[in-house]
Structure formats: structure tokens, C-alpha cells
């Protein structure tokens, strides 16, 4: 990942850069693993992060459980870790919290029941807006064409004020 980022950045600006990025691959840590202990985030910790990021910290009201340092959030993370170790799935763990705290505990409303509205709305609105806009542009182009022709016929300055319905 690390290397690829560099290459992407380079590629964006200097088209011939991929070679430059590769040279920096050598990681000193890999060489000197002998003496100090290298701590790597465990698989468990990563799973906890993935789940805790989907839950809202109940007392902070903006942060996710994962980002929060509040006591409740810390305890929730411990519980999530225990549940993962016990073999529960992400789905089961989220349901556990949802059953006790309600949908409020989820960072986004579940796409079910009435909450479909919030998920469909953006696409619906964008579509509606685009349809309206194209329709409007078509009709105004037509009107403009007519005006142009009339003007050419009568050779008069535009007299009446037309409406722009936007």
C-alpha cells in the first residue's frame, strides 16, 4: 500500500514516475527486527475498529465508539473484542447493540422500513433535478431559436420581456 501511494502521486504529475517510487521500498524495520519488539495491530484490533466505527458513542453524540475515549465507549470496545473472540459475526454484534440502544447507536440509519427514504432521496432528487434542467434547457433553446427567427424576419429589437422560469 505504502509504495503504491507514492507511485500514484508521482503518476499524477510526472507520468514516468513509477520507477522513482520503487526504490524507497526498503523498510529498515524489517531488517532490524532482532532487538526491540515490533507491535503490529492485531487482527482482533482491526476487527474491533471496523465494528466500533459503525457505532455511535452514546455519550459523545458525534463521534464513533472507536474514536471516542469516553468510559462507555472503552467498555463497548472491550465487549466487542470479547464477542469477536467468542466467534460472533459483525452482524450479530451490531444487532446486540441495536437491540439495547435502538437505531440511534448506529452511525447511519439502516436501509429498512421508513429509513429507505434517506437512502433513496439523494439519487431521486439528483435525477429529478437533471430531468427538469434538461427539459428547461430544451424548451429555452427552442424559444431562443424562435425569437432569433422572428427577429430576423421583422428586424426589430426584442420587444417583450420573456419569462425565465428558473
Count CB atoms within 10 A of the CB of residue 70: 14
Q: What are the φ/ψ torsions at residue 56 (nearest 5 degrees)?
A: -95, 135
For the bound state, the minimum distance from the C-beta of residue 154 to other proteins, rounded and expressed in Å, comes to 14
The minimum distance between CB 88 and other proteins, in angstroms, equals 14
Q: Which is nearer to other proteins, 89 or 133 (CB)?
A: 133
Closest distance of CB 38 from other proteins, Å: 5
Separation between Cα atoms, residue 88 and residue 84, nearest integer Å: 5
Closest of 53, 87, 81, 80 to residue 68, by C-alpha: 53
> CB-wise, 92 or 133, nearer to other proteins?
133
Rounded least distance, CB 81 to other proteins, Å? 11
Residue 24 or 89 with smaller CB distance to other proteins = 24
Q: Which is nearer to other proteins, 88 or 106 (CB)?
A: 106
- Give dist(CA 144, CA 2) in Å, integer: 55
* Cβ(165)–Cβ(139) below 8 Å: no
Q: Is 106 helix (H, G, I), strand (E, B) or coil?
A: strand
Report the alpha-carbon distance of residue 131 to residue 114 in Å, rounded: 26
N residues, the chain: 166
Q: Which is nearer to other proteins, 61 or 154 (CB)?
A: 61
Beta bridge partners of 106: 55
Shortest approach of other proteins to residue 7 CB, angstroms?
Answer: 5
Amino acid at each position: 500500500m505504502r509504495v503504491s501511494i507514492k507511485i500514484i502521486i508521482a503518476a499524477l504529475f510526472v507520468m514516468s514516475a513509477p520507477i522513482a517510487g520503487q526504490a524507497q521500498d526498503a523498510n529498515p524495520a524489517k531488517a532490524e527486527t532482532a532487538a526491540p519488539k515490533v507491535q503490529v495491530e492485531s487482527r482482533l484490533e482491526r476487527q474491533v475498529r471496523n465494528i466500533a466505527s459503525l457505532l455511535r458513542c452514546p455519550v459523545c453524540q458525534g463521534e464513533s465508539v472507536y474514536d471516542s475515549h469516553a468510559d462507555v465507549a472503552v467498555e463497548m470496545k472491550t465487549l466487542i473484542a470479547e464477542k469477536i473472540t467468542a466467534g460472533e459475526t459483525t452482524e450479530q454484534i451490531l444487532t446486540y447493540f441495536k437491540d439495547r440502544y435502538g437505531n440511534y447507536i448506529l452511525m447511519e440509519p439502516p436501509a429498512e422500513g421508513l429509513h429507505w427514504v434517506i437512502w433513496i432521496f439523494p439519487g431521486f432528487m439528483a435525477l429529478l433535478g437533471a430531468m427538469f434542467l434538461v427539459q428547461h434547457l430544451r424548451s429555452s433553446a427552442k424559444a431562443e431559436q424562435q425569437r432569433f427567427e422572428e427577429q430576423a424576419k421583422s428586424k426589430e429589437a426584442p420587444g417583450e420581456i420573456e419569462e425565465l422560469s428558473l
